[in-house]
Amino acid sequence: MIVGDITRFTNKGMGLAMRVLAAGLAALLALTFLNLTVLPGTALAEEADGVDAATEHLVLPAPEEPEAGSNVFVYLHLSGPALDTAKATGLEVNREGWFTVGVIALEGIAKPSEKPLNYEVDQPELEAMQSQIDTALRSINYYPGAQALSLSAAKWTSLKVCSGATDYAAAGHTWHLDGELCDQLVNFDVRYIDAEGNALAVGDVDDQGNKTDTRTILAAVGSEIAADDQIIDIEGYEYSKDLTTEKNGGESVTVAAEPLARPPFPA
């Protein structure tokens, strides 16, 4: 995969207010694959509806527990500019602003059945686990549609034992990782190309029903988008970290933005 150079933001799907608040510069992440007959990379889920108590939505079976560690159900609370943008661009959140992200397998923690209901990891221990959590998030099993929201600016605030898991058919005690995101979000385009720079039609679907070479995600202004987090399954191709880094001058691209000038009021 090769990450492309910085280009302008494409505020597709945003209303006028969001275009004024969000901005004029953006980063284009072009992920390049080599034409090799090897095992494909990690697949991302297909997009679908999110969650709302008044909306019909998917309830997925709980994944099988890993032998070491435990499954952890991941949720984000969106507020402020993040919630406004998410709603304006069609992401489904519930009435309290919660967004279902998916499930990670976290090593080094007890099975939830071994802990009492409402047990919560204290903040010093949670902070010490941040690196482990970040690693697990790279292999997250996304809830359908959740991959449209970058987790790069999320702040993980709570790891606790709950009863069941919203949007999953999970009975009994379960681990929940809760986070928050309130930053300004903007559209960020991820392009998929081969080693020669040719487009790969593996991204979003256009108005004619054809897949493009670009997938658009929501990312917080000032956050860094890592190419490794945007790998998808492309048959016959393998992600090239070296080419990606070379193309972008680094392993990640910073999402930058500046407010657009307000038009003058008529005299």
Instruction: Tell me what pLDDT residue 43 has.
Output: 30
Instruction: Tell me what pLDDT residue 122 has.
Output: 96
Q: Which DSSP string corresponds to the chain?
A: -B---EE----TT--HHHHHHSBS-EEEEEEEEEE--S---PPPPPP-----TTS----EEPPPPPSSSEEEEEEEEE-HHHHHHHHHTT----TT-EEEEEEEEETTS--GGGS-TT-B--HHHHHHTHHHHHHHHTT-EEPTTGGGB--TT-EEEEEEEEEEETTEEEEEEEEEEEEEE-S-EEEEEEEEEETTS-B-S-S-B-TTS-B-SEEEEEEETT-EEEGGGG----TTEEE-HHHHHHHHTSSEEE----BPPPPPPP-
- Tens-of-pLDDT digits for all 267 residues of the chain? 333 333 222 333 344 333 323 333 344 576 766 544 222 222 333 333 333 333 457 899 999 999 889 999 999 999 999 999 998 888 889 888 999 999 999 998 999 999 999 999 999 999 999 999 999 998 999 999 899 999 999 999 999 999 999 999 999 999 999 999 999 999 888 888 888 888 889 889 999 999 999 989 999 998 888 888 888 888 888 888 888 888 778 888 888 765 555 455 454
Q: What is the pTM of this model?
A: 0.75
